[in-house]
Structure 1
Amino acid sequence: MSGTFNDIDVPPTLVSFAVDIAKEKDIITPELKAVGDQLVLFTIKKDEFDLPDYAQVMKLYDTIHALIQAGVIVSAYALDGKGLAAAVSKMAFGNKLGVTVNEDVSKETLFAPGFGNIVAEVPAEKVAEVKAAFDAAGLAGYEALVGWVNEEESFIYGDMRISMEEALHAWTATLEKVFPTRATENKDEVKTGLYKADNIYVCKNKVAKPTVFIPVFPGTNCEYDSADAFERAGANTIVKVFKNMNANDIRESVDEFVKAIEQSQIIMFPGGFSAGDEPDGSAKFFATAFRNAKMTEAVMKLLNERDGLALGICNGFQALIKLGLVPYGEIRPQSAESPTLTYNTIGRHVSKMVYTKVVSNKSPWLQGAELGKVYCNPASHGEGRFVAPQEWLDKLFANGQVATQYVNEAGVPTMDEEWNVNGSYMAIEGITSPDGRVLGKMAHSERRDRSVAMNIYGEQDIKIFESGVAYFK
């Protein structure tokens, strides 16, 4: 790449990426797994010019790979210019497990660059298997015990002791003033309970295999994931792009959308950034298109005459709330008091895994989920903060329309930005229409799949797609 902008010149630069393939069962992650496990340092051999002995390196890595396949190595980290100390610290931060470094490990070893070396976590009872494998490969001496995983949530080396909290603060605080990770210090827990419905809306118009219409607008980027999720759940999908290059394109798109809605039982509003979230905020163009009289009529017929369902995730949730489909259950104008979604408290896009609790079983979309259970999904949005007057908040909870809430590691709804990433009032992540048939939520439940987010703990399948399909059977 290269280029020039004003008085800035970028010289031609080669950017190289190495990509390989592997079986998912052979992939391990770097975070430490269990107290009592041992830490083993594997060292590559170098010649007098500090160049790697590539024959030894290949044999070393092959042996490590075989130990990973055998389940002997459960986590590993490749050292860089910061050495062993930085590597074991990052491994420890993942699950906040402490590390005790053996006193015979020199300070030079701790902090010297370790390019090519690998530190690995091995259950104590399997350390002998590591030694046996290295002896068999002729690599004896290139493995060394350097420490173990302690239960004290501290880093210990000789008479030095650093708490996990202190180490994490030192690691993360450097750029906090430049690029803050939180806008408020509010960590209040939200005192709400669970809503158990006496009756769930039952579909009267049964279909063996429902069809889902997924509208795509310029800037939408989750249509493929959404279609895959519904097809895995047993539905057919119709995906149509709204063309807006000229007036005729728009008229044709409206007719195509109406026809697709008439053929469907479910409308899925996918995530993304429709029209770049311009003008005037998220999903405005999305919602404006669906306010077309023909499309509004088609949507309301689907809901009112065919017992249909509607789902909106992220940008799709923004569209549902601007249309009025949540919380009202019909397409109608918003008033100044209507619940809405606005900018995250941090003032920028947030992308991280979030934990959400199912707090109502009123919606057909949540029949496959467990009331009170916590599910983990990725969130990725700039305008996901749910806001509403207190009267509306009370009404939504009383009606069982609050479907899901952001929760902390203890499963408690919270205002702590570490968990409630956008600062939503009452930690609300998803809401429904009064009868539960329209669901809007921020976290991307459609991005769950096999081999995705394998190192993320917690249940990731909230089964909303399977529940939507089952509703019609």
Structure 2
Amino acid sequence: MPFGGKTQLTPSEAMVAKFPVDGETTTASAMSWGFNPFLMEADQFAGAYLSVVESVAKLVAAGFEHEKAYLSFQEYFERLRTQPERWGKPVAAVLGALMAQIDLGAGAIGGKDSMSGSFEQDGQELNVPPTLISFAVAVGRAVRAVSPEFKAAGSRVVRIAPAVYGEDYRPDAAQLIDVFKLVESLTAAGTALAISTPGYGCGAESLFKMCVGNQLGLELADDVDVESLFTPMYGSFIVELSEDAELGDVAEGVVVEPLGTTVEGYVLETANEQIDLAQLQEAWEGGIESVFSYRHAAAGLEAQPVEKIDFTAKDIHVFSGAKIARPRVIIPVFPGNNCEYDTARAFRTAGAEADTFVINNLSPEAVAKSTHELARRIRESQIVMIPGGFSGGDEPDGSAKFITAFFRAPEVTEAVRDLLQARDGLMLGICNGFQALIKLGLVPYGDIVDATPDAPTLTFNTIGRHQSRLVRTRIASNLSPWLSQCQMDDPYTVAISHGEGRFVANDEVLRTLVANGQVATQYVDEAGMPSMSLDVNPNGSVAAIEGITSPDGRVFGKMGHVERRGDNLYSNVPGNAWMPVFESGVAYFA
């Protein structure tokens, strides 16, 4: 995730993602960047050199190897015209980047440049600062990925750095390579719990951001040179070591300096000072609150108490037909859906036979043909799953309109009713699919019905924009067959990505849903308590509701993407991301 720890606040050093394959893989790609505008403005040669160093160092900090790095440069300079000093800036930058490539053995395989960064305003010329941003990419084993947030109290924290830096902040190249190798040996051994490489904000910024993710503090060693924490040290690393970590033989020219020990208290302690990191965090986060509010819900909502819903069903619906070893799942893919691959993989892993069907809406004839074909495939399946995404671009007038129109076609409606009423089948909708289910009436009513003013719905997030992050949810009811392999109150960490996920219902409808056990899941905090706080309930759903079911539980809609799961995912955010929804659905027929 781009931000790690239980608070999801520690910025990652690099983007790390498993290869997008139709199946499983242990290989990941990483991409990072490096650039300091102030150093570039002062010295284009050194600034570009350090852009390359920073980008490669971030890859190493993320658990990848510098020898596998490739580079791409983004350059932006003022108009050159006929002035030699203007021409000298991009020339110096390119030479600095070239020298860094030679020193690090990393080649640039692409890039883009522009020499048009001069503009007129009120008769004066405005020029962009000299810019060369280095992007570094590499491929490696996903299991080696390391994130920068401190993981536990009581860990040793060290700084690994080249011994020699020039006046322009460039590290000795040979020493830098040895530093890279030492850090890479720690990630290969799995003994580096967290790694950060200081950049623009120097070591002090790195230490603060390493603390904020899991709300851990740091007790600095008495002999730490505090001034060095405010000095640029590109190519250095701050590393949280595991208890059994061994550094082995350290090459000459590599300095390993103990910085301190992580502590439970959320403070930064020196020999004669203690800094409250909560206050520092507030200053850090509050700086953009006026232009980019992301921490608070609509006025008054956070203060509202939220009931922790617990419903234990006396009778859980059991499949009435003959056992089916591999139930068939039809996954219709509408224009804009984007979760069908993850969904199909999750069902196949659980033991089902997944049938992905792409809807063709290029002409009236194609729509009619797709309608007929979808109905036919529903009749041949035991499960209908509507995947997530943004069908029809969520336009016009909100999400899932195209999906609902398709399912209201008489032939498709009758196929769905046959599945649910005659063949005892199941339906599941996640995110965009949940939006479709609720607007069709399949949740909470269990049938495709006309919408009424009193019907619950999903609408725009209270924050007024899209939310994309991990959230915690809990099991609030055991009514649904989709949750048969979960336990009451079980917590799960799931991905959300939506702009219209706020569940709304009037008081009477809400009471009915709770009384019937149809509130399946709730958004909760770290302690397992539901809340209206935006960092818990990302869309402002009433009663912190994340998912609901039909009256008998066989139709289940939820916002969280439980299909986005697998080995070596979300490694920088604690929690259990493996919610056995798909396994439960398959087991219903066994």
Q: Which bracket does the TM-score occupy, shorter chain normalised?
A: over 0.9
Structure 1, 421-430 or 450-459: larger mean CA deviation: 450-459
CA distance in 2, matches of 1:109, 1:314: 48
Residue 163 of structure 1: how far off its partner (Å): 1.7
Instruction: Find the counterpart in structure 2 of residue 106 from structure 1.
Output: 225
Aligned positions of 1:208-287 closer than 5 A: 208-287=325-404
SS of the equivalent of 1:298 reads helix
CA distance in 2, matches of 1:187, 1:452: 34
Residue 50 of structure 1: how far off its partner (Å): 4.7
Residue 14 of structure 1: how far off its partner (Å): 8.5
Instruction: Find the counterpart in structure 2 of residue 373 from structure 1.
Output: 490
CA distance in 1, matches of 2:585, 2:190: 39
CA distance in 2, matches of 1:91, 1:187: 30
**Contact 1:272/1:314, CA 8 A, preserved across alignment:** yes
SS of the equivalent of 1:172 reads helix
* 1:53 to 2:166 alignment: no
Instruction: Find the counterpart in structure 2 of residue 160 from structure 1.
Output: 273
SS of the equivalent of 1:398 reads helix
Instruction: Find the counterpart in structure 2 of residue 305 from structure 1.
Output: 422
**Contact 1:356/1:374, CA 8 A, preserved across alignment:** yes
Instruction: Find the counterpart in structure 2 of residue 359 from structure 1.
Output: 476
Residue 113 of structure 1: how far off its partner (Å): 1.4
Residue number among 387, 409, 413 corresponding to 1:292 in the alignment: 409
**Contact 1:38/1:147, CA 8 A, preserved across alignment:** yes
Residue number among 154, 162, 170 corresponding to 1:36 in the alignment: 154
CA distance in 2, matches of 1:379, 1:355: 10
Residue number among 23, 36, 45 corresponding to 2:141 in the alignment: 23
CA distance in 1, matches of 2:466, 2:559: 13
CA distance in 1, matches of 2:269, 2:578: 39
Residue 153 of structure 1: how far off its partner (Å): 1.1
Instruction: Find the counterpart in structure 2 of residue 337 from structure 1.
Output: 454
SS of the equivalent of 2:494 reads strand
Residue number among 509, 512, 517 corresponding to 1:395 in the alignment: 512
1:196-243 deviations in Å (ceiling 9; x for gaps): 111111112231211111111111111111111111111111111111
Residue 285 of structure 1: how far off its partner (Å): 1.1
* 1:66 to 2:179 alignment: no
CA distance in 1, matches of 2:132, 2:483: 49
CA distance in 2, matches of 1:452, 1:179: 28
Instruction: Find the counterpart in structure 1 of residue 100 from structure 2.
Output: none
Residue 55 of structure 1: how far off its partner (Å): 2.7
CA distance in 2, matches of 1:163, 1:324: 51
- Give the direction of change, closer, same or farther, for the CA distance of 1:2–1:85 in structure 2 (3 Å limit): closer
Instruction: Find the counterpart in structure 1 of residue 198 from structure 2.
Output: 79
Q: Number of paired residues? A: 464
Instruction: Find the counterpart in structure 2 of residue 191 from structure 1.
Output: 307
CA distance in 1, matches of 2:325, 2:463: 46
**Contact 1:279/1:285, CA 8 A, preserved across alignment:** no
1:57-99 deviations in Å (ceiling 9; x for gaps): 2222222222233343221111112111100111101100011
Residue number among 70, 87, 90 corresponding to 2:209 in the alignment: 90
Query: Any gaps of 5 or more consecutive residues in structure 1?
Result: none
SS of the equivalent of 2:162 reads coil
- Give the direction of change, closer, same or farther, for the CA distance of 1:194–1:50 in structure 2 (3 Å limit): closer
TM-score with structure 1 length normalisation? 0.93
Residue number among 144, 154, 179 corresponding to 2:292 in the alignment: 179
SS of the equivalent of 1:341 reads strand
CA distance in 2, matches of 1:402, 1:193: 8
Instruction: Find the counterpart in structure 1 of residue 320 from structure 2.
Output: 204
CA distance in 1, matches of 2:582, 2:137: 33
Residue 295 of structure 1: how far off its partner (Å): 0.5
1:307-346 deviations in Å (ceiling 9; x for gaps): 1100000000000000000000000011000010010000
SS of the equivalent of 1:18 reads strand
CA distance in 1, matches of 2:432, 2:523: 18
Structure 1, 176-185 or 76-85: larger mean CA deviation: 176-185
1:349-392 deviations in Å (ceiling 9; x for gaps): 00111100001011000001111111110111000000001011
1:6-51 deviations in Å (ceiling 9; x for gaps): x99999x997642222223322221112212121001124464654
**Contact 1:188/1:416, CA 8 A, preserved across alignment:** no
CA distance in 2, matches of 1:104, 1:366: 55
1:251-284 deviations in Å (ceiling 9; x for gaps): 1111111111111110001001100111111111
CA distance in 1, matches of 2:265, 2:404: 53
Query: Any gaps of 5 or more consecutive residues in structure 2?
Result: 1-111, 121-125
CA distance in 1, matches of 2:230, 2:339: 44
Instruction: Find the counterpart in structure 1 of residue 569 from structure 2.
Output: 452
**Contact 1:209/1:469, CA 8 A, preserved across alignment:** yes
CA distance in 2, matches of 1:103, 1:86: 19
CA distance in 2, matches of 1:226, 1:72: 34
Residue 156 of structure 1: how far off its partner (Å): 2.0
Q: Which amino acid aligns with 2:236?
A: N
- Give the direction of change, closer, same or farther, for the CA distance of 1:254–1:75 in structure 2 (3 Å limit): same
Residue number among 135, 146, 154 corresponding to 2:259 in the alignment: 146
Q: Which amino acid aligns with 2:252?
A: L
SS of the equivalent of 2:347 reads helix
* 1:121 to 2:240 alignment: yes
- Give the direction of change, closer, same or farther, for the CA distance of 1:253–1:306 in structure 2 (3 Å limit): same
CA distance in 2, matches of 1:329, 1:213: 18
1:97-134 deviations in Å (ceiling 9; x for gaps): 011223432343111112111000124x547x33xx1x
**Contact 1:81/1:112, CA 8 A, preserved across alignment:** no
CA distance in 2, matches of 1:10, 1:317: 50
